[in-house]
Structure 1
Amino acid sequence: MTEPTDKRRGRILAAAREIFAREGFRSADVKTIAETAGVGKATIYKFFDSKEQLLLVVVEENLNQIRDLALRQLISSGPPLARMEGACRAIASFIASNRAFTRVLVQEAGDFAGEIQRQHLTMIEQNMPLAEAFFSELRQEGYFTELETRATIQMMVNLFIGAAYTWALTGAGDLEEQTATYLRVLTAGLRAPLPHSATPTKD
């Protein structure tokens, strides 16, 4: 009995993620991916035009998983700021559990940055109505009032990509805790209130 197409495709993607993470994109061989997936090399080319396309599909699946993790938190119950922290923690935990693959993207995927950015922007646009509703809740509580939603999302993405980039290369610290700390600083502001005794007084 022939194995369903979607199962073979899923095994190929899982094997590709494993081999890319272990050997790096440039060193990875399609034959090794095929052997790991338990299929012939020709079968891979029935689903994917090239090793490059295979990587991009793996990235797209990662982005879909990240989206689902974020949405699950953002549409849950509770204060909007707590839901946002939950989303950031869930994303950071996912990235941390895939550190080797994240490091490969950081080090080797520069040639695909444009296409990965396109995938990312498309996903944001597809989920903009939900994002607008969520940030409207936050603005009612006084947060993120200076930027429109797209610019706010981009600011946060830039901040957390920078954190993930450094963490993936150095392995220093706990990415989830770093992400939560950066979010708290972002929402609270960089300048703490002066102690009452230090408040300037007029003569």
Structure 2
Amino acid sequence: MHDLLTSPRVRLRRRGADKHPLILKAARTLIAQSGFREAQMTAIAEAAGIAIGTLYRYFPSRTELLVEVVKFTAQREVDVVAGIAMRDGTACERLGMAAWTFASRALRGRRLAHALVAEPVEPEVEAARLTYHRALSRVFRTIIDQGIANGEFPEQDSAASADCIVGCLFEGLVAPLSSEAALAGVPMQSQVTSIISFCLRGVAGTAVAFIPPA
């Protein structure tokens, strides 16, 4: 009986529910509202409804927590884009829709997306963002490789082409994702469509007009 009561499993249960998902959700919500700068540990603990000491038991530093938020959020976005890449259709269609899905989701959650794309951050958080870039690039590279294999795209360095698409999307979205653009009510669909058409033209080697879904 003594061994049972003092086992790690029993002690873990006595600590109560795992607060990790709650903390990540609270931090992500604050970043989506005001960016990384306002996501301080005290504010995150308050938003999560936990004591600051509890927060530090899960995440010894703010940087460690922000890295975790970036990884979690980025993986979800990459999974969505990867799902588009696996659909039926030509490589050109899937490449265009994958890029459109990424851009349109970013514009719907523009403050969080701006933090993930352009906000100045600590080197550790920047490293997590670069991992996000590479994961997204791998999705685009897969589609490009398929297009090359079936003769739809000309021979090319698919890794370089995929990196260029990611670069175009991230750089092209910096201004649309800014708070100034949001306040001005600037229409973004035509700009995003132009960026994607440019990317498709570069990969396909011929003029391609991307038509966004209705």
Same fold (TM over 0.5): yes
User: Is 1:173 aligned with 2:187?
Assistant: yes
- In structure 1, runs of 5+ residues without a counterpart are 193-203
Instruction: Deviation per CA, 1:55-114: give whole Å up to 9, x if none.
Output: 111111121012101110111111221111221122112212221123344233264564
- Aligned sequence identity (%): 19
Instruction: Deviation per CA, 1:163-186: give whole Å up to 9, x if none.
Output: 1212112333325x5334322233
Distance 1:51 1:144, change over 3 A: farther
Is the contact made by 2:141 and 2:161 (CA closer than 8 Å) also made in structure 1?
no
Distance 1:104 1:133, change over 3 A: closer
Is the contact made by 1:15 and 1:33 (CA closer than 8 Å) also made in structure 2?
yes
Instruction: Deviation per CA, 1:120-159: give whole Å up to 9, x if none.
Output: 36636xx95x76653232123442533x222111110100
- What is residue 93 of structure 1 aligned with on the other side? 104
Is the contact made by 1:71 and 1:87 (CA closer than 8 Å) also made in structure 2?
yes
User: Is 1:149 aligned with 2:162?
Assistant: no
User: Is 1:32 aligned with 2:43?
Assistant: yes
- Once residues 110 and 178 of structure 1 are traced to their aligned partners in structure 2, the CA distance between those partners, rounded to angstroms, is 30
User: Is 1:4 aligned with 2:17?
Assistant: yes
- In structure 2, runs of 5+ residues without a counterpart are 1-13, 208-214
- What is residue 83 of structure 1 aligned with on the other side? 94
Distance 1:72 1:31, change over 3 A: same
Structure 1 residue aligned with 2:201, among 178, 188, 191? 188
Is the contact made by 1:74 and 1:83 (CA closer than 8 Å) also made in structure 2?
yes
Distance 1:22 1:163, change over 3 A: same
- What is residue 197 of structure 1 aligned with on the other side? none
Is the contact made by 2:31 and 2:115 (CA closer than 8 Å) also made in structure 1?
yes
TM superposition shift of 1:2: 5.6
Distance 1:145 1:70, change over 3 A: same
Secondary structure of the residue aligned to 2:119 is helix
Distance 1:144 1:120, change over 3 A: farther
**Aligned residue identity for 1:143:** F
Query: Considering only aligned residues, what root-mean-square deviation do their CA atoms show, in Å?
Result: 2.9
- What is residue 119 of structure 2 aligned with on the other side? 107
Is the contact made by 1:144 and 1:152 (CA closer than 8 Å) also made in structure 2?
no
TM-score by length of 2: 0.72
Distance 1:133 1:52, change over 3 A: closer
TM superposition shift of 1:118: 4.3
TM-score by length of 1: 0.76
Is the contact made by 2:30 and 2:38 (CA closer than 8 Å) also made in structure 1?
no
